[in-house]
Structure 1
Amino acid sequence: MGTERQSALRPTPKEPQRIALGIEGSANKIGVGIVKEDGSILANVRKTFVPPLGSGFLPKETAQHHQQHAVGLIRQALEEARLSPRDLSVVCYTKGPGMGAPLRSAAVAARTFALLYELPLVGVNHCIGHIEMGRLVTGAENPVVLYVSGGNTQVISYSDQCYRIFGETIDIAVGNCLDRFARVVKLSNDPSPGYNIEQAAKMGSRFVELPYVVKGMDVSFTGLLSSVEREVVKMNKGTTDFSREDLCFSMQETIFAMLVEVTERAMAHCGERDVLVVGGVGCNLRLQQMMDMMVAQRGGRAFCTDERFCIDNGAMIAWAGLLEFMHTGATPFKETWCTQRFRTDQVHVSWRQ
């Protein structure tokens, strides 16, 4: 009897926390992150493919870059986290959307690593990775999300276990627009075109009127890009007194005003007061400032992150994949392919109530 009583009083040993390794490679960055079940980020390393001045990153060259760095980054992440592969619970990778060849390179690295160490695999939607990482590091509970990156521009809100898209670009993404503009005005790709536009814009003093295209909840950037390219031609011919810095300033002000407008409209529609800005363009301090001003007027809060988590990274894939793994299990191995088209609203968000 006494032995039974002592056994009942003995504390039950805690289950070890699950740990995920995530590999992101949808565009010009290859990243590896390791995250624990409690949200602790143990490692988050990456390498960026920087193309020569005046050119963008091509799929073949970008894929080769990822293939060269994937193994080294996995090793580096494990060393930083002080873990061995046997300590991991699951391997997560970006299933899509993104560029085909870079996506395949990251997916092959994830499948190979998982097979070597007999670990389950989870394919992650890139956009969901951004959202869940933003929610984790900022503490935002149920914000309207502005997702702005090189390949995506969406205004998103959660409802009934789905991230629903309320507005998006109808042509090119905002990051793509800024990258192409940077090439026209001969700004460097190092560390990124968007960053260099932001620095140049701080020295601009004159506003050049450019097309402002908002169609309901959607935005369009191709007309704006064509217009500013014509202004660059005039500037190069010396037929105008606008500077390159003025054009950078005008591009940012016009584009970000469009994004703030559609975000505010989504807030009003959804009855939400908070906004979370994610994606690589979300690092821009001017965009964050404009968003903060709008949200403050509505009595809410703007949640933003820095380049560690705004820019594509492996930790966001590890965290989103771990959430999915804990609620719905692993992706069947025969379904661990990748796709260039994988919409945010196609994912069943099983981990949110």
Structure 2
Amino acid sequence: MPTPSPRARPSHHLGRWVLVGAPVLALGVAFSYTAGWLAPSRLSAQRIVDALQQNAGWHPGYRRNHAKGVCVSGYFESNGAAAAYSVARVFAQGRTPVIGRLAIPGGNPAAPDDSSPVRSLALRFDLPGGEQWRTGMNNMPVFVVATPQAFYEQLLAARPDPATHKPDPARLAAFFAAHPETGPFLAWAKTTRPSASFATQSYYGLDAFYFIDAAGRKHPVRWRVAPETADHTDAPAGPPSKDDLTDDLDRRLAQGPLRWHLLVTLGAPEDPTNDATRVWPAERPTIDAGTLVIEHAQDQASGPCRDVNYDPTVLPHGIAISDDPLLAARASAYADSYRRRTGEEAHVPGSAPAADATKASQP
């Protein structure tokens, strides 16, 4: 993804955003709108994916977002603490196998790792009986906008100018001025530098969900994973490389598994479940549900995450979606992205056959 000029204004906050914002804008294929099938004038997943592809360029066979990434695998060790709030078998004491993917945003698989401060972690928990829990998380505590329509407008505002190959700072500034809900994200972006390590980041689910307990009661929740790796001395020893994140991951895994704690925050009735730009009060109770352990990394072209769809609406019994309008949109856009890239792979000589379309891809 192109990076706009850091000279943009009209405020000092926007100057920082324009530097990091264009790559971040491409996050949102995961947050696109689904209800467009019957009315051509309405927004659809296809239009969102078209916009992402136009902004980042066409890279056949790759995800339209989070194109640059690495497969990881390991397990989740539940301590049983969340079982009182959800009957999902992933929260019973014991281990659940996990297939994941660490990535940066954008549709360019050759982008340098420092092109955006955003890092993502997607996970698929493989539960007994064929159930799955899939989640896509980012290292920012809030999303940029609250609705699919606003995200689409954001993509249009970030479209590169053909002459400069960079977004127009004035157009981006106008978008943010018209969307005050972006303030919390802009504050985060202003103070965040691109990390050279996936291992030192916390990753947030962003959207709200419901846990359902044995009595059928629904508990509003948000989750994140927090690293056991306490050091943040993650700058590379030598000159920056465009692949610092993968190099660092390989180095750390050679020394042993990496661990994160799955932290589940319980919302109160008054906490919003339909707005990913708003954080819940800090005093809400948080449960440490267990430990995510990553043991191995593998190239995404041949690794186990290659044809996994990290659609967060794929949930086991005991977890349910909320009224967040971004959630249903993610499933449709992921599927559209999957159809495109696997269709392209089918025409690449020597490429591996694509997986069944029901196992669609992280865009």
Q: TM-score, normalised by structure 2?
A: 0.25
Q: Give the number of the structure whose residues are more often helix, by fraction.
A: 1
